[in-house]
Amino acid sequence: MAFKEFELKKLYFSIGEVAEMFQVNTSLIRFWETEFDILQPKKKATGARRYTPEDIDHLKLIYHLVKEKGFTLEGAKTKIKEGKDDIVKRQKMILTLNKLKSFLENLSANI
């Protein structure tokens, strides 16, 4: 997964921080915001976006479908409407399995 895993300790993240997490341009994050209803970051009076950990989870879902699975935007929207929970469960399972694989590879290399 190209998304940089890290602990979400902050309550809000700037668009620059979010773009860095996903290794994409800020313009793509703004574009997805207009395309996907589930992505609704809060905005300051100055217009600066403030993304919550929930917004980050929604972006992970969008990123997974569009960038990793190769869905079109319309296909990703349909998939999210059909069963967001199933996608999230699978995504978490894949992440857990990848972490386990890395752990086992490191363990094997150190033996």
The verdict on residue 4 lying in a domain is: no
Asked, for residue 45, whether it belongs to a domain, the answer is yes
Give the model's pLDDT for residue 82.
Answer: 84
**CA 16 to chain CA mean position, Å:** 14
CATH of the domain at 72: 1.10.1660.10
Domain-located, residue 3: no
Does residue 78 form part of some domain? yes
At 55, list the tokens.
């917004």
Could you tell me if residue 89 is inside a domain?
yes
Q: What is the count of structural domains for the chain?
A: 1
pLDDT, one tens digit per residue, over 41-100 is: 998 889 889 999 889 989 988 998 999 889 999 999 998 888 767 777 777 787 788 889
pLDDT score recorded for residue 31: 96
Q: ∠ CA 58-59-60 to the nearest 5 degrees? A: 90
Q: Specify if 8 maps to a domain.
A: no
Owning domain of residue 91: 15-109
Q: What is the pLDDT of residue 4?
A: 56
Picking from 56, 53, 61, the residue whose alpha carbon sits closest to that of residue 82 is: 61
The pTM (predicted TM-score) of the whole model is 0.71
The answer to the question of residue 30 being in a domain is: yes
